């Protein structure tokens, strides 16, 4: 690290658990953030401010006035602009040293597989089950840890799926792809704006811990937040041997 980096990241380096070695791991890491909305905004901002070496952010949407209540990557002046282009501006303003790749597309197929394979950690900040399951399958296939978050109304959830670890579940163990699940969107149900900030920020924290191999991750635990009472509930999640994605038969 140069003198400027030592100063910029000094508050990390002062932490015995991180130090120069941990910060160098952050600087060498590549985070893939799927979604530049409510969850992706705080997650990407904290990853960039922490000095993640390379940040790829993917979203196929444009900035809408209704997004600004919670999607803090974007501004009023950028309404109508591609979300990923808006995101890149904000991320480079907070830390110009970060290599930001902004991709306006919906990830799928080989393209998704290639991007996941190149990442140190993946953050699922999307808002639909099809994308969540596709990202999970790619992470399982390439052995890349996945930090998954979701938020709707006043309810949030968060977990880490890292199948590099023996007996660790994947997203499909918890939410099977063949399960009949009602798709619920913010556009119809609404969402409490600070809630996505809480969940997205914790996603960034878990991702940074993973790239530094620091502390204990949320593998095997699903954290549920009721923001009305501001109470957390932790639920144990086990690997499903019959899982169609990571089960022993597949």
Residues classed as catalytic: 186
| SS3 sequence of the chain | CCHHHHHHCHHHHCCCCCHHHHHHHHHCCEEEEECCCCCHHHHHHHHHHHCCCEEEEECCCECCHHHHHCCCCCCHHHCCCEHHHHHHHHHHHHCCCCEEEEECCCCCHHHHHHHHHCCCEEEECCCCHHHHHHHHHHHHHHCCCEEEEEEEECEEEEEEECCCCCCCCCHHHHCCCCCCCCCCCHHHHCECHHHHHHHHHHHHHHHHHHHHCCCCCCECEEEEEECCCCEEEEEECCCCCCCCCCCCCC
């Amino acid at each position: 690290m140069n003198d400027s980096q030592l100063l910029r990241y000094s508050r990390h380096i002062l932490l015995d658990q991180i130090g120069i070695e941990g910060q160098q791991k952050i600087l060498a890491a590549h985070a893939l953030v799927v979604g530049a909305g409510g969850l992706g905004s705080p997650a990407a901002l904290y990853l960039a401010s922490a000095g993640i070496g390379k940040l790829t952010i993917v979203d196929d949407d444009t900035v809408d006035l209704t997004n600004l209540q919670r999607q803090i990557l974007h501004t009023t002046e950028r309404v109508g602009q591609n979300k990923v282009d808006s995101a890149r501006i904000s991320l480079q303003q907070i830390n110009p040293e970060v290599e930001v790749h902004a991709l306006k597309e919906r990830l799928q197929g080989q393209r998704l597989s290639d991007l996941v394979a190149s990442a140190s950690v993946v953050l699922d900040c999307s808002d639909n089950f099809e994308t969540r399951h596709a990202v999970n399958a790619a992470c399982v296939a390439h052995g890349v840890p996945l930090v998954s978050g979701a938020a709707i109304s006043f309810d949030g959830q968060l977990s880490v799926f890292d199948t590099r670890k023996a007996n660790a579940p994947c997203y499909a163990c918890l939410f099977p792809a063949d399960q009949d699940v009602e798709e619920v969107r913010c556009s119809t149900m609404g969402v409490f704006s600070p809630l996505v900030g809480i969940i997205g920020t914790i996603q960034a924290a878990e991702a940074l811990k993973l790239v530094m191999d620091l502390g204990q991750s949320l593998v095997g635990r699903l954290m549920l937040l009721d923001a009305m009472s501001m109470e957390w509930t932790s639920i144990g999640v086990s690997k499903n041997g019959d899982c169609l994605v990571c089960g022993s038969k597949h």
